[in-house]
């Protein structure tokens, strides 16, 4: 049976989070019309061994192995290329959001008059005030620069129809992939809907970028550089 939904989760050095992730996913994704693809995104910990041990217990899930980490976005793209679903989604492996949020997103596609024209993202709650302020500032900047209303750009899950994915050209390999997908959806005139998600604490480990303000500054610089690059590229294609 071809899955209706493929959920891609990139995991970099998340060996301690994988058991809980699969347990939580089983509560909502263990159904014949859903597949879960966990991308071992060049991890240097025991992720490969953990997945090899655990995945036989979860027949709805499989792994995609990226030998060398080439970025968060590269891992997601690797999973999307391997996915078979009509509706494609990605979310995080750190258990700060529930993989089951994608099922509520799928319900939006089931109700849509034209699911090929729908783009779904999460709307996060429960985050620290400083992170909310940071997100608001980035949203205002991107809205002004790109000329499209954009908010909570890095919220997960991110969901869209396969036909939209097939229009992508030269997507970025880093955290800018969230911006790329969201902006292309706005530019293409897709209907953007939000599903509320609770954003909790990581079960294990720390963020790979959101550790302190120094990490945020690096993230801002990369995002700004890519934002200007994306605007130039799309202007040339217009």
Domain boundaries, the chain: 5-237
List beta partners, residue 194. Answer: 121
| Global pTM exceeds 0.75 | yes
Position 191 scores a pLDDT of: 98
Percent of the chain past pLDDT 70, that is, above it, reads 91
Do 120 and 194 contact (CB within 8 A), yes or no?
yes
**pLDDT above 50: residue 193:** yes
Position 205 scores a pLDDT of: 57
Position 200 scores a pLDDT of: 75
Position 209 scores a pLDDT of: 47
Distance CA 91, CA 99 (A): 7
Q: What is the mean pLDDT of the chain?
A: 90
pLDDT band (50, 70, 90) for residue 202 = low
- Structure-model confidence comparison of residues 97 and 205, the more confident one: 97
> What average pLDDT does the segment 173-177 reach?
91
**pLDDT above 60: residue 7:** yes
Q: Helix, strand or coil for residue 193?
A: strand
**pLDDT above 90: residue 220:** no
Considering only 32-36, 77-81, 152-156, which range has the smallest mean pLDDT? 152-156
pLDDT band (50, 70, 90) for residue 206 = low
Instruction: Write out the two tokens for 109.
Output: 């596609």
Percent of the chain past pLDDT 90, that is, above it, reads 70
- Structure-model confidence comparison of residues 218 and 114, the more confident one: 114
How crowded is residue 138: how many other Cβ atoms within 10 Å of its Cβ? 22
Give the list of residues 6+ apart from residue 183 with CB closer than 8 angstroms, or none: 142, 146, 148, 150, 230
Considering only 38-42, 159-163, 210-214, which range has the smallest mean pLDDT? 210-214
How crowded is residue 55: how many other Cβ atoms within 10 Å of its Cβ? 17
How crowded is residue 126: how many other Cβ atoms within 10 Å of its Cβ? 12
CATH of domain 5-237: 3.90.550.10
Position 238 scores a pLDDT of: 47
Do 208 and 219 contact (CB within 8 A), yes or no?
no
> What digits encode the pLDDT tens for the residues 123-145?
999 888 988 988 898 899 889 98
Distance CA 67, CA 79 (A): 13
> What digits encode the pLDDT tens for the residues 21-62?
999 999 999 999 999 999 999 999 999 999 999 999 999 999
């Amino acid at each position: 049976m071809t899955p209706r939904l493929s959920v891609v989760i990139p995991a970099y050095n998340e060996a301690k989070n994988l058991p809980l992730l699969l347990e939580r996913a089983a509560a909502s994704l263990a159904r014949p019309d859903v597949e879960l693809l966990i991308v071992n995104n060049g991890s240097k910990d025991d992720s490969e061994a953990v997945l090899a041990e655990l995945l036989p217990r979860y027949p709805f899930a499989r792994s995609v192995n990226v030998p060398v980490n080439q970025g968060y976005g590269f891992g997601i793209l690797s999973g999307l290329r391997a996915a078979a679903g009509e509706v494609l989604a990605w979310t995080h492996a750190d258990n700060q959001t529930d993989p089951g949020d994608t099922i509520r997103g799928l319900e939006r596609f089931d109700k849509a008059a034209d699911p090929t024209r729908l783009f779904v993202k999460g709307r996060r709650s429960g985050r620290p005030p400083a992170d909310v302020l940071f997100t608001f500032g980035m949203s205002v900047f991107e809205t002004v620069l790109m000329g499209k209303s954009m908010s909570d750009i890095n919220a997960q899950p991110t969901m869209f129809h396969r036909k939209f994915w097939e229009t992508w050209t030269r997507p970025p390999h880093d955290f800018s992939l969230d911006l790329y997908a969201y902006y292309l959806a706005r530019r293409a005139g897709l209907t953007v809907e939000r599903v509320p998600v609770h954003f909790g604490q990581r079960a294990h480990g720390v963020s790979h970028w959101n550790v302190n303000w120094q990490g945020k500054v690096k993230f801002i610089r990369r995002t700004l550089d890519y934002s200007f690059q994306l605007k130039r590229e799309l202007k040339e294609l217009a």
